Amino acid sequence: MNPKSTLNLRLQSVRALAALTVVAFHVLIRLSFPESESYRLRAVLNVFNGLDAVCLFFILSGFVLGITLIKRKPYNLSECWGFIRHRFMRLFPAIVFSSLLYAIYYRYFYEPRDFPVASGWFNMPHPVSLLDLTANIFLIRYTLDGATWSLQVEWLFSLLLPVLYFWTSRSPRSNFIILAVLLFLYYFPAPAAWKWNATRVPWYFLFMCYAGWMLAIYKDHLLKWLHRLPRFLLYVLILFCFGVCATNPHFGHHLELFTAAATFLIGVIVLNVTPGFFRFLDAKPLISIGNISYSFYLLHTLVLTICEQALLSHVSNSWIALHLWFFAFVLFLVTVAITIPLSCFSFWLCERPFLSPRQARSADLTPSPVFASRVPHA
């Protein structure tokens, strides 16, 4: 396997880790832990932090779209439209499929019940009218799957990227101007009460996508700089960035610092500067989950709700309250085990038909021939 394929698969592993982190985060916040467990819960959520994992998806998407757009070189309106049409067909068929599954479940099978060990995140209203279904499919509402708010960010960035490419291709320094503008929007959202309401302020997170885009543009410059850096200082910088990402929740979610650290770490992986340092990313299970990570992300909340309701209905709530951490671990494992085959089917039905021929051929080289790579060769 050539180095570019290895890096391609390692980025898939990063996607898998982010997706699994989101699942663990959702499992934990949907259970009602007692006050005595608050310190331990915070420590665990510091590792399995869902918001940071979603931000990692934004950076990866910006990088992948940057590589794709640079190769496509859309110098006319027709090619820009082709790029947007490709992104639409890449994102929305899977959204339609998952939204239909959510609507069917909430309309015909979901029974709202108050479980003592379930938090308010579990018993949330789920409208299932045709209007609500349509609004969820087009990412106007998030009543069926709250996790789809992040897809609005990606879709908005996909629409803006061809326009930004026209500007930045003529003036590379304008990339920094755009990044500064997006950071300004990050620091000064209006009104202030919306600051952490991602479903109402999607553009709040656009600077993370643009950080990944800039990594795609300036990766050669970054490579030259890293080669000049002494190896000891490089490892210190990598460990420092890991520390920034791990401690981010303790300091009020300073996502601009997390974005800078995570972008640097992704750049080190992409450029293969320290191949041995990230060898754990070569694990085949991670690569396989990474290949279906988009469908996995869309469907895990549905599977989690079904599993949680089934377990809470058939297991004594008093026993669960005494063994809440063990129950959370079992719920996580069961959710992942069921989501994976369902995501494989969703990938085969809604994603694979819209991959480019080159991506479809590369699927046969991955550890699981059913899957296809979502990340083009860097």
Domain count within the chain: 1
Q: Looking at residue 199, what DSSP letter applies?
A: T
Domain span at residue 314 reads 3-363
Could you tell me if residue 126 is inside a domain? Answer: yes
User: Would residue 119 count as lying in a domain?
Assistant: yes
Report yes or no on 372 lying in a domain.
Answer: no
**CA separation for the pair 41, 36 (Å, rounded):** 9
Which residue blocks in the chain are alpha helix, DSSP H? 3-29, 38-47, 50-72, 77-108, 130-137, 149-170, 174-187, 206-228, 231-247, 255-271, 284-291, 293-314, 317-322, 324-346, 357-363
Is the Cβ–Cβ distance between 358 and 5 less than 8 Å?
Answer: no
Question: Token pair for residue 30?
Answer: 């949907």
**Structural domain contains residue 376:** no
pLDDT of amino acid 330: 95
Cis peptide bond prior to 191, omega within 30° of 0? yes
Residue 14: count of CB within 10 angstroms of its CB: 24
pLDDT tens, per residue, the chain with 378 residues: 444 555 678 889 999 999 999 999 999 999 999 888 888 888 888 888 888 899 999 999 999 888 877 776 655 667 778 888 889 999 999 999 999 999 999 888 888 778 888 888 777 666 788 998 999 999 988 888 888 889 999 999 998 888 887 777 767 678 888 888 888 877 776 555 455 555 567 778 889 999 999 898 888 888 888 888 888 898 899 999 988 888 876 555 678 889 999 999 999 988 887 767 788 888 899 999 999 999 999 999 999 999 999 999 888 888 998 999 999 999 999 999 999 999 999 999 999 888 765 554 444 333 332 223 333 332
Q: What was the pLDDT predicted at 113?
A: 79
Please count the other Cβ atoms lying within 10 Å of the Cβ belonging to residue 301: 22
**Residue 368 falls inside a structural domain:** no
Instruction: Establish if 322 belongs to a structural domain.
Output: yes
Residue-level pLDDT at 367: 34
pTM: 0.87
How far are the Cα atoms of 42, 49, 64, 196, 269 from residue 57, in angstroms, in the given order?
22, 13, 10, 18, 15
Specify if 83 maps to a domain.
Answer: yes
pLDDT of res. 196: 52
Domain annotation covers residue 375: no
DSSP, collapsed to helix, strand or coil, labels residue 297 as helix
